Amino acid sequence: MGRQALVTLDHIKAAVAALQAEGRNVSSRAVREKLGNVGSMGTINKLLQQCAGDKVETPSSLRQLPPEVQYAILDFADHQANDVRQQIADELMQCKREMDDLAEANEQLTVMIDDLREQIVRAMSDKANIEGQVKQLAEELTGSRNEIAAERRAAEATRVELIKLQMRTEVLAPLESELRDARAECEAQRRTSARFEQAAAVLEAQRLALENHVQFLDRKAEDAQDTRQQLAEKLETMSMLLDREKDARAIAERELAVVSATQAERKVAGNTTRKGTDSKQHNNPLTQD
């Protein structure tokens, strides 16, 4: 079952509306701070671009208006074009800052990945050493167990012989002392066997703990690889965004050039019309004194 997203498009829209109401600049970092530093910069940036793409574009066609109104509209369009150019420049600077932040985060993650790799190499080396020690101790334990078993068999045989000897020579008191010694020796051997078994249990617990630690390091390495992949996707998204901003700026400049050319042609046409009217009035004898 997939993990639930911490940041959604609705959260981004609410944060953008709050920043605009406060009069603050809308950026990925500002939106993340508004959301309480929740979510990654790549996810927030992707949702922020999706939110910006949902805006409705204004129609470019206008009705036929009187010249005075058209002049006023053209003047307003000039101001709007200047504002758009300034906004695009600000957004480009903001995108550059965000790309620098992403590059810095990527570099930090690369360093973390290298550190994790070194830790994994050291852990694998430690694991190999401990496995060698465990194998050696297991071999020693096996040998000790075999020796203890042989000694037990020998002790059992001795005990049987002592019993037989005791049954045959119950009147001989020195045999009782030898029997006590043999029993004490068997007890010492049992204690030695118990110590070896305890040492084997401790080594087994250490081996299991080391395997759990290695698995934890493997999971951290996989998480770091996923983070690096996400950063690569973020960089690709930022590159697409810059290309889109360049195209928008080129379109805005072309539209501004068209508006400027239209305005210049209208001014020339207006001057030509006024000159023709003045010339007719000068040549008309009714208008002369």
Q: Distance (Å, rounded) from C-alpha 237 to C-alpha 241?
A: 6
**Is 222 a domain residue?**
yes
Euclidean distance between CA atoms 259 and 80, whole angstroms: 12
At residue 56, the pLDDT reads: 41
C-alpha of 27 from chain center: 19
Residue 250 lies in a domain: yes
Mind listing the pLDDT tens digit for each residue in 65-96? 566 665 676 667 667 766 766 776 677 687 77
Distances from the Cα of 248 to the Cα of 47, 88, 92, 140, 178, angstroms: 20, 9, 11, 77, 105
Is 155 part of a structural domain of the chain?
yes
Domain span holding position 147: 67-268
Indicate the pTM of the whole model.
0.27
Distance CA 112, CA 224 (A): 8
d(CA 86, CA 78): 12
Q: What is the dihedral of CA 40, 46, 49, 55, to 10 degrees?
A: -100
The alpha carbon of residue 164 and the mean position of all alpha carbons in its chain are separated, in whole angstroms, by 79
pLDDT at 64 over 70: no
Task: Name the nearest CA neighbour of 44 among 78, 18, 5, 72.
Answer: 5
What value does the mean pLDDT take over residues 112-118? 86
CA distance 250 to 269: 29
Q: Looking at the domain assignment, is residue 55 inside a domain?
A: no
Give the total number of structural domains in the chain. 1
Between these two residues, 104 and 103, which has the higher pLDDT value? Answer: 104
Whether residue 281 is contained in a domain is answered as no
Residue 248 has pLDDT above 80, yes or no: yes
172 assigned to some structural domain: yes
Considering the domain boundaries, does residue 111 fall inside one? yes
11-35 per-position pLDDT tens digit:
888 888 888 888 877 777 888 888 8
In a domain, 28, yes or no: no
Contact 148, 193 (CB under 8 A): yes
Domain CATH code at residue 78? 1.10.287.1700
CB atoms within 10 A of CB 174: 8
Cα–Cα distance measured from residue 283 to residue 152, given in angstroms and rounded to the nearest whole number: 144
What Å distances lie between residue 7 and 30, 44, 72, 178, 237, CA to CA? Answer: 14, 7, 44, 83, 18
Residue 286 has pLDDT above 70, yes or no: no
Sign of CA dihedral 29, 34, 35, 37: positive
